[in-house]
Amino acid sequence: MTTALLETRAVTKRFGGLTAVKTLTMKVERGALYGLIGPNGAGKTTVFNLLTGVYDPTDGDMLFEGARIEGRKPHEITRLGIARTFQNIRLFPDLSVLENVMAARHLRSRQTFADAVLGTSRHHEEEREIRARSMALLELFDLQRLADETAISLPYGSQRRLEIARALATDPQLLLLDEPAAGMNPQEALDLMRVIRRLRDEFALTILLVEHNMKVVMGVCETVHVIDYGETIAIGPPAEIQKNPKVIEAYLGGA
Amino acid sequence: MRVPTKLLATTVTIGLLVGLNYLFEHGFGDFRINAYYARILNLIGINITLAVSLNLINGLAGQFSIGHAGFMAVGGYSATFVTVYYGRAIAGLFGSSLDDAVGAAVVMLISLLTGAAAAAVAGLAVGIPSLRLRGDYLAIVTLGFSEIIRVIILNIPAVGGATGFTAAIPITNFFWIFAVAILTIVIVRNIATSTFGRVLATIRGDEIAAEAMGISTTRYKVLAFVISAALAGVAGGLSGQLFANPLNPQNLNFVRSIEIIVMIVIGGIGSITGAVFGATTLTILPEALRRLDQQFPGLRMVTYALLLILMMIFRPQGLFGRRELGWTWLRRRGPAAPAAAIK
């Protein structure tokens, strides 16, 4: 049996008396487009924060490529190959669009601190490499013409795409997208769906998506995982989820 | 190609500094440099080192340290201590004496390296616990640290206590002051323009996002802090061994730290050329205003304060903002700007 790329086993997170995530068991296979949905306050972002090491789980195991990741620091988890975007955009405000991506590329740069201080040839080679890779990522998201703009001067939709480009600069295997379509107009959302599919197909990425825009979720995800009050209420393909009475009740309220 | 260019630049710089140093000490023909101006120039060099090194942690990494005088004290007293108590022995090892140029140079180098190491260790000890936290903790801890250092020094008779380290042997000269200033600028510039400069910018911008991009924020904050402290220590070593300028705990209090912060704020926090400009201006300004004081006593410090206030009202981001004054900046402002923008 092959191990799933990401697996959580009965992960629970309590904040004082509030159980934000309750015995979450999730299996994300390599190459999957996995959607995590639920009404407001269901605990979706908490799941992301657990997976990326911002919070430690109260209970349960989290495995990435079969190795346990709970208790690791966020930067260690990114190094292992999990990258994320943020629900409330967190770009580096005083860096340019290109520099935002270049900064994230630091993780995979082989130059040492001494290389940089002494300005060795390895430093110059690595800087060229960082610049070239970052520019290629900007082109993928059609941001190359805005490379020298300040990141926060970009329109909202472009900032979201820049966040994805920046996450990709860390060479992840698993990409966590926290509401990537939030604040996008229908056209931008359609473009985003195309990009997400391309990332999976061309870059062999596995994508875990939290999203409120049902068009995006149902149009892109192959597996949808629904949680409500931290508890799993359904897992399955989009078509099934849409008909699931429990899901409809969670979203529209019980009769 | 690159290494020979660098070697050439280094040789020319050292040659130039040695030449200027000779001019400073012996003059040229009948020409002598006014001792007062020479002294101000030397203080400018030391302040440039202090301001540019503080800029690494306060400007580039965005962490607010107000203990730079403390690191200056640790490094300065350690360096001066080495020269005073072991200087003759060290010079003797090289078959030289402190009065000889070679002996003095060797002792100076060793004392400055000792100062840098001592300040770096102090930086590590202060940085590791306080830089794990976000916000104002660093400011409080560094302020406390520099006051503790000051009080400790006050109570060590071997380094002069409250009277200051007057036993210091004046082996600092123009060459060392400006060699260190240039070295500091080069080190900080190389960090700023490399991937590590961007790392510091991510820490300044958003630590949570920086961590999510795989950057160990604590590690890089501590690294920047230690380098900054070490360079301040070297500046202290230069300052304490300058002629008639002994280290004194009274002058190494938090007012001195604030003075260095004002230098980088005036120049534009985060800008290296800004820090150089700020250090130069704030060293000259109080001296230039002395003439005013002769006519209107007391007006000097009032004018000084007023200029700082006006500066903060009309240009709160500092004179240069985050920009660097340089060829690219000048070119961008020139008529060729549109062509450069398209490219």
CA–CA min distance A176, chain B (Å): 11
Q: Quickly tell me which residue has 């972002």 as its tokens.
A: A45
The angle subtended at Cα A96 by Cα B48 and Cα A88, nearest 5°, is 115
Cβ separation B214–A84 shorter than 8 A: no
Spell out the domain ranges in chain B.
49-253
CA distance A161 to B119: 44
Per-residue pLDDT at A205: 94
Per-residue pLDDT at B172: 92
**If you average pLDDT over every residue of chain A, what do you get?**
91
Are B202 and A94 spatial neighbours (Cβ–Cβ below 8 Å)?
A: no
Per-residue pLDDT at B334: 42
- Residues of chain A contacting B208 with CB distance shorter than 8 Å: 54, 74, 86, 90
For A124-153, what is the mean pLDDT?
93
* Tokens describing residue B228: 């900054």
Q: Which domains does chain A have, with CATH numbers?
A: 1-89+171-197+213-218+230-255 (3.40.50.300), 90-155 (no CATH)
DSSP state of A145: G
Tell me whether residue A30 is exposed, middle or buried, using C-beta atoms within 10 angstroms of its C-beta: 0 to 12, 13 to 18, 19 or more.
Answer: middle
Are A160 and A89 spatial neighbours (Cβ–Cβ below 8 Å)?
A: yes
Q: Which residue from A123, A127, A170 is facing B214, i.e. has the nearest CB?
A: A170
For A215-231, what is the mean pLDDT?
91
DSSP string, B150-215: HHHHHT-GGGTGGG--TT------HHHHHHHHHHHHHHHHHHHTSHHHHHHHHHHH-HHHHHHTT-
Q: In this structure, how many other beta carbons lie within 10 angstroms of the beta carbon of residue A31?
A: 14
Number of helices and strands in chain A (H, E): 10, 10
Per-residue pLDDT at B331: 55
Residues 6+ away with beta carbon under 8 Å from B161: B153, B154, B155, B249
β-sheet with A18-28: strand ranges across? A18-28, A6-15, A59-64, A67-68
Between strands A67-68 and A59-64, the pairing is antiparallel
Of chain A, the percentage scoring pLDDT greater than 90 comes to 67
Per-residue pLDDT at B343: 30
* Tokens describing residue B44: 């400018």
Q: Which residue from B195, B213, B215 is facing A130, i.e. has the nearest CB?
A: B195
Per-residue pLDDT at B2: 55
Please name the residue of chain A whose CA is at the shortest distance from the CA of residue B184.
A117
pTM of the model: 0.89
Q: What is the pLDDT along chain B (343 residues), one digit of tens a residue?
A: 456 788 888 889 999 998 888 888 888 878 888 889 999 999 999 999 999 999 999 999 999 999 999 999 999 999 999 999 999 999 999 888 888 888 999 999 999 999 999 999 999 999 999 888 776 888 999 999 999 999 999 999 999 988 999 999 999 999 999 999 999 999 999 999 999 999 999 999 999 999 999 999 999 999 999 999 999 999 999 999 998 899 999 999 989 999 999 999 988 888 999 999 999 999 998 888 888 888 888 887 788 788 888 888 888 888 888 778 776 665 554 443 333 333 3
- Residues of chain A contacting B205 with CB distance shorter than 8 Å: 91-95
A89 touches chain B (CB under 8 A): no
Q: Quickly tell me which residue has 């300052």 as its tokens.
A: B239
Quick: pLDDT tens for A153-212.
Answer: 998 888 999 999 999 999 999 999 999 988 888 888 898 899 999 999 988 899 999 998
Q: Which residue from A54, A107, A116 is facing B196, i.e. has the nearest CB?
A: A116
Q: Which residue from A74, A113, A127 is facing B212, i.e. has the nearest CB?
A: A74
How many angstroms separate the Cα of B271 from the Cα of each of B181, B183, B192?
Answer: 15, 16, 9
How many angstroms separate the Cα of B97 from the Cα of each of A111, B84, B88, B106, B167?
Answer: 43, 13, 6, 10, 17
Per-residue pLDDT at B329: 60
Question: Please, which pLDDT band fits residue A105 given cuts at 50, 70 and 90?
Answer: very high
A229 touches chain B (CB under 8 A): no
Per-residue pLDDT at B31: 81
What backbone torsions phi and psi does residue B33 show, to the nearest 5 degrees? -80, 130
Of chain B, the percentage scoring pLDDT greater than 90 comes to 63
β-sheet with A231-236: strand ranges across? A82-84, A174-178, A206-210, A33-37, A223-228, A231-236
Nearest Cα residue to A146 out of A156, A157, A137, A154: A154
Nearest Cα residue to A194 out of A220, A173, A215: A220
CA distance B71 to B233: 6
Per-residue pLDDT at B287: 87
* Tokens describing residue B251: 């002058």
Nearest Cα residue to B317 out of B260, B278, B259: B278
* Tokens describing residue B156: 């060590």
Are B200 and B22 spatial neighbours (Cβ–Cβ below 8 Å)?
A: no
Per-residue pLDDT at B316: 82
CA distance B231 to B113: 10
Per-residue pLDDT at A94: 87
- Spacing of C-alpha A81 from chain mean position: 11
Per-residue pLDDT at B339: 33
Quick: pLDDT tens for B93-142.
Answer: 988 888 888 899 999 999 999 999 999 999 999 999 988 877 688 899 99
A245 touches chain B (CB under 8 A): no
Please name the residue of chain B whose CA is at the shortest distance from the CA of residue A131.
B195
Q: In this structure, how many other beta carbons lie within 10 angstroms of the beta carbon of residue A244?
A: 16
Nearest Cα residue to A241 out of A209, A218, A220: A218
Please name the residue of chain A whose CA is at the shortest distance from the CA of residue B190.
A117
For A236-248, what is the mean pLDDT?
89
Per-residue pLDDT at A172: 95
Per-residue pLDDT at A64: 94
